[in-house]
């Protein structure tokens, strides 16, 4: 024993899970340099990537089943991505309108994950990305050229404009982007 539980645990699970999983797609890199397609995402556009985000509705008790299987496989810990770079939060939060609370799912995935891990005797950890593609201040949306803010999906549902230039406000976030240089 080294004294550090992580060194001794050796076998665990890291769960990357977000709204895009319902569509069989994976997390990808952000819009870069004005390119309208996310690299490594089978040519999924930024708009398409976010288009069904608020329809995310995981299977009931999914974390319980995963963590039971993890324990049976011999895993000793599990880490959940609570908010990845795409900005979608898996718990109900008042800090953003882009979370599980705005979906048909009536629950808190993070809380369910923790409860299931503890039930199975697994240590639990979280991954939380500070980088947020959904936020209008993300660098890809603050440069000198006009870009589309990915949070514009909710704006389209409200019928408000979705493109923004360096001095415009993002219609769905009501944030002003950085000025052009």
What are the structural domains of the chain?
A: 5-164 (3.20.20.80)
Q: For all residues of the chain together, what is the average pLDDT?
A: 73
* Cβ neighbours of residue 48 closer than 8 Å, sequence gap 6 or more: none
Q: Is the pLDDT score of 35 beyond 70? A: no
46-60 mean pLDDT: 84
Q: What is the mean pLDDT of residues 17-33?
A: 65
Residue 172 predicted with pLDDT over 50: no
Is pLDDT of 139 > 90?
no
Nearest Cα to 125, choosing from 20, 12, 47? 12
What pLDDT is stored for residue 41 in this prediction? 54
Q: What is the pLDDT of residue 3?
A: 66
pLDDT digits (tens, 9 = 90+) for 79-138: 999 998 888 999 999 888 899 999 999 889 999 999 999 999 999 999 998 888 777 777
pLDDT score for 20: 80
Residue 52 pLDDT level (bands cut at 50, 70, 90): confident
pLDDT at 137: 75
Its pTM stands at 0.68
pLDDT of residue 46: 72
């Amino acid at each position: 024993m080294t004294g550090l539980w992580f060194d001794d645990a050796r076998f665990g699970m890291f769960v990357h899970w977000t709204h895009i999983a319902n569509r069989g797609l994976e997390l990808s890199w952000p819009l870069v340099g004005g390119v309208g397609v996310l690299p490594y995402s089978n040519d999924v556009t930024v708009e398409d990537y976010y288009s069904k985000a608020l329809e995310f509705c995981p299977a009931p008790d999914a974390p319980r089943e995963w963590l039971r299987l993890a324990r049976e496989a011999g895993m000793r810990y599990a880490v959940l991505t609570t908010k990845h770079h795409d900005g979608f939060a898996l718990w109900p939060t008042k800090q953003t309108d882009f979370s599980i609370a705005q979906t048909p799912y009536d629950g808190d995935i993070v809380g369910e994950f923790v409860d299931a891990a503890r039930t199975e005797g697994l240590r639990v950890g979280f991954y939380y990305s500070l980088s947020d593609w959904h936020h209008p201040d993300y660098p890809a949306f603050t440069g000198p050229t006009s870009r589309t803010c990915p949070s514009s999906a909710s704006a389209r549902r409200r019928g408000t404009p979705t493109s923004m230039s360096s001095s415009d406000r993002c219609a769905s976030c009501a944030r002003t982007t950085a000025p052009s240089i």
